[in-house]
Amino acid sequence: MGLRSGARERFLSACLGAPTDRVPAWAMRQAGRYLPEYRALKEKYGFSALVHEPELAAEATLQPIRRFSELDAAILFNDILSVPEALGQGYAFRDGGGIAMDFTLDSAEKIRALGSPEDVPARLDFAARALRLVRAELGGSRALLGFAGSPWTLAVYMVEGGSARQFAKIKRLAAEEPALFDALMEKLSDAVAASLNLQISAGADAVQIFDSWAALCPAAEYERLSLRWMRRIAAALPVGVPVIVFAKGMAHFAREIADAGAQVLGVDWTRRLSDVRRIAGPRLALQGNLDPAVLCFSDERAVRSRVRGILDEMRGERGFIFNLGHGISPDAKPENLAAALDEIAAA
Amino acid sequence: MGLRSGARERFLSACLGAPTDRVPAWAMRQAGRYLPEYRALKEKYGFSALVHEPELAAEATLQPIRRFSELDAAILFNDILSVPEALGQGYAFRDGGGIAMDFTLDSAEKIRALGSPEDVPARLDFAARALRLVRAELGGSRALLGFAGSPWTLAVYMVEGGSARQFAKIKRLAAEEPALFDALMEKLSDAVAASLNLQISAGADAVQIFDSWAALCPAAEYERLSLRWMRRIAAALPVGVPVIVFAKGMAHFAREIADAGAQVLGVDWTRRLSDVRRIAGPRLALQGNLDPAVLCFSDERAVRSRVRGILDEMRGERGFIFNLGHGISPDAKPENLAAALDEIAAA
């Protein structure tokens, strides 16, 4: 098998565990506030327009691609809360940071009143249009990623009413009204599947599911609260489109996540990738796991040395995609991401 | 070997992996806002007085012991930030939640200006006096626990200036000024060791080190940022006093934590205890790991069923102490903790 050198092929080969000429790389939240060109765009149009207007979403998606030639994948500029919004529960960002949903999903009536998953594709048409614009611009030069929040992670925001400290509401719902919880999760799973299928139809080569709140789940409940819904989603997607699951704090479930239909596991920085590989077996590709705080450092040599540490750990392994262990923070320095990507391209 | 039935012996036997008549139990933050009698005390005297006045600290420590006869251990009412305070960096709680240090430890001068660990015992004399009062009251009927934050966890608050979102400051300090970071950590380790030795002299039967921010550490850095400092502390404590390390999100380091000198590992709810036992080997006792959100449930049967799940998982295992996977939340229901403890006592 020859080694393809295009970025798109490199990325997709790594998802499937096939050999690549070098480790492919992208960064969670690579389109975002750490980029001055993003801040200018956001200042001019506002966050909501950047999400909802296809030309602006495409522009935000492409900004990091223009700046960093070594990025192997573009990921649609969007927000995981677009799916709750499409179901009728909008959101905003609090001034002090964190998310405020327009209301708290705190009754069976409100859960039943959510929109239908069937209407999700029409309501997320802006995302499909943005993806088509990006796809045309990229012309196959990069892999194009769609994404969504996991049903559990969305349910946490929806039932808690936004960013929370205690998370007792969602856990109480799951424990004390299991049928109602299941009904909500079924709806969310179908809505997420509809969103991902829409994105795939519009040109996404792979999709990532953010199970960002995975670590709220007790181990004995992870299957019931989150995994089974991701399995339902994976089963509703076309075969051959890689599914990446980012399950923060839950790499010890690598095998179960693979069994649920993931081809790639996104790993946070608390685990050595080589340890996760041992847990996961060779079938699951891994993605990660540079501590995003490293991109805030003032000395680029420290950034390069951390990146080399990760590359050394995975040297000779197939099925590896370089990424961060979490999204880029707003005070990251773009030149540090450039240095990290340069180190990968040179390796 | 006979099975001792006293609560203190039960707890200490479990720490050492010796057989016990039943699983011993206590709850992190068992003295706290979920108890109406604590809220009354705090309203009357204020949080600071509850920490600093020995009679009040003793009273807060004893409140849960009086209410829940099945508790096998009392833990001193105090705050991990007493050690930074003893070194000259005070703290307060923000109105919206979270911690605000009196200043941010953001220069070499400020780090050098911190007090000496040698002065810590005198400055924490109030804690020693509180422990002696509690010890006299308990008369050996319960194990008495002292505690402290890990040097890493304290450094996070001190260098970030309180509760933070990004944690880039402490990571930048550790990466870019390793000698200064080490100097700070040495001082904190000696201060924590002094605090724990003081508590042991005053009657603590065992001590818990809260490495609550452990999961901020990249795996490859956990030794340098946190573990080695806990090892330094454990080496400075008298042989025979069990050391419990609660390392949230880091149970995959169980073996290394045992090697650092812990006899017991506190485990959060994301891991099955049986899995952690496999990683840790039989030498390390485990403590955990009920999801504290369960204590907010409205149906006590759900609480009992979760507790039974944990007991079933560890049935027949020595070296197990029942606890929560994190501290009790303010909106926990005392009757739920009573039900959990009753379930354990009946098992």
The per-residue pLDDT for range B211-268, each reduced to its tens digit, is 999 999 999 999 999 999 999 999 999 999 999 999 999 999 999 999 999 999 999 9
Nearest CA in chain B to A293: B168
Neighbours of A317 (CB within 10 A): 16
pLDDT at B3: 52
DSSP secondary structure of A82-103: HHHHHTT--EEE-TTSSEEESS
Alpha-carbon gap, residue A158 to B308, rounded angstroms: 30
Alpha-carbon gap, residue B88 to B72, rounded angstroms: 35
Q: Report the residue from B97, B172, B252 with minimal CB separation from A297.
A: B172
Nearest CA in chain B to A269: B218
Report B:19-78 residues touching A (Cβ under 8 A): none
| Element holding A263 (H helix, E strand) | none
User: Average pLDDT, whole number, for chain B?
Assistant: 96
Mutation pick from B170, B171, B291 vs chain A, by most beta carbons of A within 10 Å, is B291
pLDDT at B281: 87
pLDDT tens figures, A7-20: 999 999 999 999 99
Residue pair B165/B96 in contact (Cβ under 8 Å)? The answer is no
Q: What would the mean pLDDT of B291-295 be, rounded to a whole number?
A: 96
pLDDT classification of B172: cutoffs 50, 70, 90 = very high
pLDDT classification of A2: cutoffs 50, 70, 90 = very low
Residue B345, CB-side half-sphere exposure with 13 Å CA sphere: 15
Q: Which burial class, exposed, middle or buried, applies to A17 when counting CB atoms under 10 A from its CB (0-12, 13-18, 19+)?
A: middle
Nearest CA in chain A to B299: A176
DSSP secondary structure of B142-180: SEEEEEEE-HHHHHHHHHHTBS-SS-HHHHHHHHH-HHH
Chain B positions in Cβ-Cβ contact with residue A306 (cut-off 8 Å): 218
DSSP secondary structure of B94-137: -TTSSEEESS---SHHHHHHS--GGGHHHHTHHHHHHHHHHHHH
pLDDT classification of B97: cutoffs 50, 70, 90 = confident
* Rg over CA atoms, chain B: 19
Q: What would the mean pLDDT of A126-138 be, rounded to a whole number?
A: 98
Judged by a CB distance cut-off of 8 A, whether residue B308 touches chain A is no
Q: Report the residue from A249, A272, A302 with minimal CB separation from B219.
A: A272
Nearest CA in chain A to B329: A166
Q: Report the residue from A175, A219, A294 with minimal CB separation from B270.
A: A219
First to last CA, chain A: 21
Q: Evaluate if residue B89 carries a pLDDT over 90.
A: yes
pLDDT tens figures, B137-151: 999 999 999 999 999
Q: Evaluate if residue B321 carries a pLDDT over 80.
A: yes
User: Average pLDDT, whole number, for chain A?
Assistant: 96
Whether residues B302 and A175 touch (CB distance < 8 A) is answered with yes
Q: Report the residue from A168, A175, A291 with minimal CB separation from B331.
A: A168
Q: What would the mean pLDDT of B116-127 be, rounded to a whole number?
A: 98
Q: Evaluate if residue A235 carries a pLDDT over 50.
A: yes
- A251-290 exposure pattern, b = at least 16 Cβ within 10 A, e = fewer: bbbbebbbebbbbbbbbbbbbbbebbbebbeeebbbbbbb
Chain B positions in Cβ-Cβ contact with residue A176 (cut-off 8 Å): 297-299, 302
> Which residue in A255, A129, A106 sits closest to A181, CA to CA?
A106
Residue A89 token pair: 């529960």
- A96-118 exposure pattern, b = at least 16 Cβ within 10 A, e = fewer: eeebbbeebbeeeebbeebbebe
Q: What would the mean pLDDT of A162-173 be, rounded to a whole number?
A: 89
Alpha-carbon gap, residue A170 to A177, rounded angstroms: 10
pLDDT at B163: 86
pLDDT at A282: 85
Share of chain A above pLDDT 70, in %: 99
Q: Evaluate if residue B206 carries a pLDDT over 50.
A: yes
pLDDT at A145: 98
Whether residues A249 and B215 touch (CB distance < 8 A) is answered with yes
Residue B148 token pair: 């402290």
Is the model more confident about A25 or about A5? A25
Q: Evaluate if residue A223 carries a pLDDT over 80.
A: yes
Least confident of A160-174, A198-212, B121-135: A160-174
Whether residues B296 and A329 touch (CB distance < 8 A) is answered with no
Least confident of A39-48, A96-105, A153-162: A96-105
Chain B positions in Cβ-Cβ contact with residue A270 (cut-off 8 Å): 215, 217-219, 222, 249-250, 252
Q: Is the Cα dihedral A98, A100, A104, A110 positive or negative? A: negative
Q: What would the mean pLDDT of A81-101 be, rounded to a whole number?
A: 93
pLDDT classification of A3: cutoffs 50, 70, 90 = low
pLDDT classification of B1: cutoffs 50, 70, 90 = very low
Q: Which burial class, exposed, middle or buried, applies to B250 when counting CB atoms under 10 A from its CB (0-12, 13-18, 19+)?
A: buried
Residue A337 one-letter amino acid: L
pLDDT at B94: 87
pLDDT tens figures, A193-207: 999 999 999 999 999
Q: What would the mean pLDDT of A209-229 be, rounded to a whole number?
A: 97
pLDDT classification of B2: cutoffs 50, 70, 90 = very low
Which residues touch A171 (CB under 8 Å, ≥6 apart)?
A216, B291, B293, B294, B296, B297
> Which residue in B181, B149, B131, B153 sits closest to B82, CA to CA?
B149
Least confident of A1-15, A268-282, B54-68, B164-178: A1-15
Chain B positions in Cβ-Cβ contact with residue A172 (cut-off 8 Å): 293, 296-298
> Which residue in A177, A43, A44 sits closest to A106, CA to CA?
A177
Alpha-carbon gap, residue B183 to A150, rounded angstroms: 43
Q: Which burial class, exposed, middle or buried, applies to A60 when counting CB atoms under 10 A from its CB (0-12, 13-18, 19+)?
A: buried
Whether residues A217 and B172 touch (CB distance < 8 A) is answered with no
Q: Which residues pair with A162 in a beta bridge?
A: A100
pLDDT at A5: 63
Contact pairs from chain A to chain B, CB under 8 Å: 103
Give me the interface pTM, i.e. the ipTM: 0.92
Q: Report the residue from A176, A269, A299 with minimal CB separation from B298.
A: A176
Q: Evaluate if residue B183 carries a pLDDT over 60.
A: yes
Q: Report the residue from A165, A270, A275 with minimal CB separation from B215.
A: A270
